DNA sequence: TTGAAAGCGCTAACAC
DNA sequence: GTGTTAGCGCTTTCAA
């Protein structure tokens, strides 16, 4: 981290600040007998200031408990070290990890992530984006490639680096970092076919909103159909993922279509629920029935059997996206991106104990 | 949501904004032939503006793709509708739910949450807090009651409502919303004792940093000792929680102390790992061995047996905290809190299938 | 190495 | 209902 000798106040005042006016540079200036400008320089480590003055200013600022007003600073310098991070949800395991990746990289930077959540609603995305852009951030990291025309226009016009993450199947506004969900679906289908499975069911979210799940499904069916197969049964759910959901769906599907020999789940959580259900029912896995999920959620390591899955490279995506922003935002405020980047990561297939190898 | 007819640009410009100067109020003013002030009024829905002017301004702003500069607005009005939300981690299941609660309540408000993550490091908390306060937010929601003197001083001096969340066992800077972890520990201990268990093991995080886990443990041992019992064995871990961790720890502990008849886990995730391990080993649960966790993580519903646990009221805490902020920040910028609130929620014990009733 | 002046883009307060 | 003026608290720029 740069700028480490910021003035974090020691323990100056003990009484509660009852609506007192916040301290300004001027207060520090007067208390230390140095011009505002010099105080400003000390606090930002800019320009040459004599060691003595420096000491005095730092001491005063700390004693008073001065906290700079970034609003004024940002307005004056038209430099805002904020990165807007816009994601659909915090509830599933995937985005928190992306955020961790982003934070991790930005920690070595002056940039700070600011989070917005859209709940998979394009209108809300539009609102959140507008709100965040009105703070003139140094960059935007935003999930997905599908969005309203208005949102796209805002991104295009923002004049700051934009990284669309998670998905690379489509047209990006600027840079993009992610995996091909379409390909992930294809590869899983191929592995399933190679494993000798023939009667396949799909269990997932209602997809109109979750484009990445949809693309995986499309890739999946496409590869199946090349092998002369098709998805024989499907089951969808709404609401939060969880084991219980996976169980119920699996139960319903196997009751309806007892002859299926493979279940492809749109995420590991419901997949794990399905797995637990099948184990309880004494179903022979992976021979009588194979199972696979998606995401490679780490917390699930330790299930009775390891669920076949595919890594969604969440943390790496976050890291790579943050790097792109850090590099492109290097310029001053207002500058546009140097050049759009396209970073495609390759998810790794894990066979685990629920997918027979071909 | 208020202020719904903001000017989200339609799809005005199609070319990428290559470092063009962002539009200002003045641009809209000139393009619409109305004073800046009137444009400002229209865009904020303040004061009386004739329907005709209003229309014209709105249309122009939209056509141009104008996005207001909140930095300037905030500086001029000393009103920032941001709420700093500072939490230790996103990786476990608990804080995302708190955040959802906060967002949900703030959605009906002009306030917007801004997230900071501290990774359970007091120094980082200090830094994040300083950083956020320098944006002069309307309020702060911050996890825990234990923090550095400097952080406490900053909160005290900020002159804005502060809500410390999750925990109520200790001294709050201002308002506080949470549960008593100490009491949660006591209650679980009591239930265990009442269930007839006598030889108890504890499995949890290394606690120097996780004060809430520590308080639960303290309450736990205290109640045990009143019953003439003590924790017979302990096992600690670092890093992310997950089933695998729970399994390993459980295996180690049962090998070392095969006579234990109850295992108390500091969270549901490792508890679930332990449960899976025990089931595999054919251990009779809950009679030969009882198990309990903490948090009431919803996604785990659907395990082969329902783990005994205690609700940490995460979402409610988020909601209540946001309400406190929304009410207290009602005043203008700079005003201090109306009066500190103290909201103590009561976690509910779930016996599930792993804790025998007394 | 330090200081003085100007102004970032907006809004409060007051005039008209 | 609309416009004008004067800042908000900083940083940029230039002068000393």
pLDDT of residue B20 exceeding 90:
no
Chain A partners of B247 at a C-beta cutoff of 8 Å? 302
- Between CA A225 and CA A193 the distance in angstroms is 10
Rounded distance, CA A273 to CA B303, Å?
8
Give the pLDDT of residue A207: 72
d(CA A272, CA B269): 14
Tell me how far apart the alpha carbons of residues B146 and B157 are, in angstroms, rounded to a whole number.
17
At B19, the pLDDT band (50, 70, 90 cuts) reads: low
Q: Average pLDDT for residues B322-327, to the nearest whole number?
A: 96
User: Where in chain B is CATH 3.40.50.2300?
Assistant: 181-312
Question: Which residues of chain B neighbour A12 with C-beta distances below 8 Å?
Answer: 153, 157
CB contact under 8 A, A8 and B300: no
Q: What's residue B243's pLDDT?
A: 96
Q: Is the distance from CB of A325 to CB of A83 less than 8 angstroms? A: yes
Residue A9: band (very low, low, confident or very high) from pLDDT cuts 50, 70, 90: very low
* pLDDT tens-digit map of B29-71: 999 999 999 999 999 999 899 999 999 999 999 999 999 999 9
Interchain CB distance below 8 Å, B134 and A276: no
The span from the CA of A269 to the CA of A281, in Å, is 19
- Domain ranges in chain A with CATH number 1.10.260.40: 13-66
Would you call A332 exposed, middle or buried from its count of C-beta atoms within 10 A (0-12, 13-18, 19+)? exposed
For residue B110 the two structure tokens come to 């002009």
Least confident of A154-163, A326-335, B74-83, B236-245: A326-335
Q: Name the nucleotide with the smallest C1'–CA separation from A36.
A: C3
Separation of A140 CA and D13 C1' (Å): 31
Cβ distance A19 to B334 less than 8 Å, yes or no, reads yes
A40 or B339: whose pLDDT is higher? A40
- Strand D: which bases are under 7 Å from protein Cβ? 1-13
Nucleotide nearest B332 (Cα, C1'): C12
* pLDDT above 80: residue A3: no
Point out the residue among B91, B157, B269 whose CB comes nearest to the CB of A100.
Answer: B91
Nearest-CA residue relative to C1' of D3 = B35
pLDDT in tens, A172-181: 999 999 999 9
Confidence of residue B8 (pLDDT cuts 50, 70, 90): very low
Residue B164's pLDDT is 98
**Residues B303, A276 contacting (CB under 8 angstroms):** yes
**pLDDT on residue B136:** 96
Residues in chain B: 358
* Protein residue with the closest CA to the C1' atom of nucleotide D5: B37
Handedness of CA B272, B278, B280, B286 (dihedral sign): negative
> Which pLDDT belongs to residue B265?
97
Q: Which fold has domain B13-66?
A: 434 Repressor (Amino-terminal Domain) (1.10.260)
- Dist. CA A29–CA A202, nearest whole Å: 67
Query: Which residue of chain B has the CA closest to A62?
Result: B150
pLDDT score recorded for residue B143 = 98
D4: residue with closest CA to C1': B37
Measured CA A33 to C1' C1 distance, in angstroms: 15
pLDDT band at A283 (very low <50, low <70, confident <90, very high): very high
Using 50, 70 and 90 to split pLDDT, how confident is the model at B4?
Answer: very low
The answer on pLDDT for A124 being more than 80 is: yes
Q: What share of chain A in percent tops pLDDT 90?
A: 85
Q: Please give the pLDDT value at position B239.
A: 87
Q: Over the stretch B201-220, which tens digit does the pLDDT of each residue have?
A: 999 988 788 999 999 999 99
Report whether A131 contacts A116 (CB < 8 A): yes
Which tens digits make up the pLDDT trace of A220-271?
Answer: 999 999 999 999 999 999 988 899 999 999 999 999 999 999 999 999 999 9
Is the pLDDT at B312 greater than 80, yes or no? Answer: yes
CA distances from A240 to A294, B98, B106, B179, B297 (A): 16, 15, 21, 25, 12
From the list A180, A208, A210, A216, the residue with the least C-alpha distance to A292 is A216
DSSP-based helix, strand, coil % in chain B, nearest 5: 40, 15, 40
| Dihedral angle sign, alpha carbons of residues A85, A88, A93, A94 | negative
pLDDT surpassing 90 at residue A289: yes
The minimum CA-CA distance between B7 and chain A, rounded to whole Å, is 9
Chain mean pLDDT for chain B: 91
Facing residue for B13 by CB, picked from A8, A157, A300: A157
| DSSP-derived secondary structure letter, A333 | T
Strands (E), A24-99: 82-87
Share of chain B above pLDDT 90, in %: 86
Residue A47 confidence class, pLDDT cut points 50, 70, 90: confident
| Interatomic separation, CA of residue A97 and C1' of nucleotide C8, rounded (Å) | 37
Options 3.40.50.2300, 3.30.200.20, 3.60.15.10, 2.30.30.100; which CATH number does A181-312 get? 3.40.50.2300
Q: Within 10 Å of residue A226's Cβ, how many Cβ atoms?
A: 12
Q: Which nucleotide is nearest to B75 (CA to C1')?
A: D8
pTM of the model: 0.92
Q: Which residues of chain A are within 8 Å of residue B1 when distances are taken between CB atoms?
A: 127
Residue B347 is given by DSSP the state: P
Please give the helix or strand (H or E) that residue B42 lies within, else none.
Answer: helix B36-44
The pLDDT of residue A218? 97
Q: Which of B307, B297, B219 is nearest to B263 (CA)?
A: B307
C-alpha dist (Å) from residue B143 to A225, A351, B229, B349: 52, 40, 32, 23
Asked if pLDDT for residue A11 goes beyond 60, the answer is no
- What nucleotide is nearest B47 when CA is compared to C1'? D1
pLDDT in tens, B155-188: 998 999 999 999 999 999 999 999 999 999 999 9
Nearest residue to B209 (alpha-carbon basis) of B123, B115, B270, B293: B123
B143 burial (CB, 10 Å; 0-12 / 13-18 / 19+) is: buried
Q: How far, in Å, CA of A207 to CA of A181, rounded? A: 13
Cβ distance of A136 and B17 shorter than 8 Å: no
How is residue B298 annotated by DSSP? Answer: G
CB atoms within 10 A of CB B89: 17
Chain B span 64-93 residues with beta carbon within 7 Å of strand C: 68-69, 72-73, 75-77, 79
* φ, ψ of residue B234 in degrees (nearest 5): -135, 150
Task: Please return the burial class of B3, using the count of CB atoms within 10 Å of its CB with bins 0-12, 13-18 and 19+.
Answer: exposed
Distance between CA atoms of B161 and A266, rounded to whole angstroms? 43
Render pLDDT for B217-270 as a digit per residue (tens, 0 to 9).
Answer: 999 999 999 999 999 999 999 988 899 999 999 999 999 999 999 999 999 999
Q: Who among residues 1-30 of B has its Cβ near strand C, under 7 Å?
A: 21-22, 24-26
Percent of chain B past pLDDT 70, that is, above it, reads 92
Helix/strand/coil percent split, chain A, to 5: 40, 15, 40
> In this predicted model, what pLDDT tens digit does every residue of B81-128 receive, in sequence order?
999 999 999 988 899 999 999 999 999 999 999 999 999 999 999 999
Could you report the per-residue pLDDT of A13-45, keeping only the tens digit for each?
Answer: 444 555 578 999 999 999 999 999 999 999 999
Structure tokens at A52: 């003595």
**Residue written as token pair 């939490």:** B87
Closest Cα to residue B269, out of B284, B247, B290? B247
Nearest nucleotide relative to B69: CA against C1':
C9
Is the Cβ pair B71, A273 closer than 8 Å?
no
């Amino acid at each position: 981290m740069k700028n480490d000798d910021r003035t974090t106040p020691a323990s100056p005042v003990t009484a509660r600040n009852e609506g007192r006016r916040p301290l300004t540079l001027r207060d520090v200036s007067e208390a230390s007998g140095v011009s505002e400008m010099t105080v400003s320089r000390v606090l930002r480590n800019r320009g040459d200031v004599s060691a003595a003055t420096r000491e005095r200013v730092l001491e005063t600022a700390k004693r008073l408990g001065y906290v700079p007003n970034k609003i004024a600073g940002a307005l004056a310098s038209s430099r805002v070290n904020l990165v807007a991070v816009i994601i659909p949800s915090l509830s599933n395991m995937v985005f928190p990890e992306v955020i961790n990746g982003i934070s991790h990289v930005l920690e070595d930077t002056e940039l700070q992530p600011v989070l917005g959540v859209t709940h998979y609603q394009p209108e809300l995305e539009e609102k959140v984006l507008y709100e965040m852009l009105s703070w003139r951030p140094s960059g935007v990291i935003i999930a997905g490639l599908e969005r309203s025309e208005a949102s796209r226009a805002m991104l295009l016009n923002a004049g700051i680096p934009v990284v669309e993450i998670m998905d690379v199947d489509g047209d990006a506004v600027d840079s993009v970092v992610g995996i091909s969900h379409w390909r992930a679906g294809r590869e899983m289908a191929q592995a399933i076919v190679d494993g000798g499975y023939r009667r396949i069911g799909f269990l997932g979210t209602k997809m109109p909103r979750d484009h990445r799940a949809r693309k995986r499904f499309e890739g999946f069916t496409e590869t199946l159909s090349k092998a002369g197969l098709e998805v024989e049964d499907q089951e969808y759910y709404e609401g939060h993922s969880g084991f219980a959901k996976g169980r119920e769906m699996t139960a319903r599907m196997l009751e309806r279509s007892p002859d299926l020999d493979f279940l492809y789940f749109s995420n590991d959580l419901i997949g794990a629920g399905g797995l637990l259900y099948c184990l309880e029912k004494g179903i022979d896995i992976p021979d009588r029935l194979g199972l696979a999920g998606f995401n490679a959620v780490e917390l699930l390591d330790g299930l009775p059997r390891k669920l076949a899955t595919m890594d969604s490279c969440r943390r790496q995506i976050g890291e790579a996206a943050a790097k792109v922003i850090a590099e492109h935002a290097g310029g001053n405020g207002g500058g546009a991106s140097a050049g759009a980047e396209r970073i495609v990561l390759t998810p790794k297939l894990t066979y685990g104990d629920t997918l027979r190898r071909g």
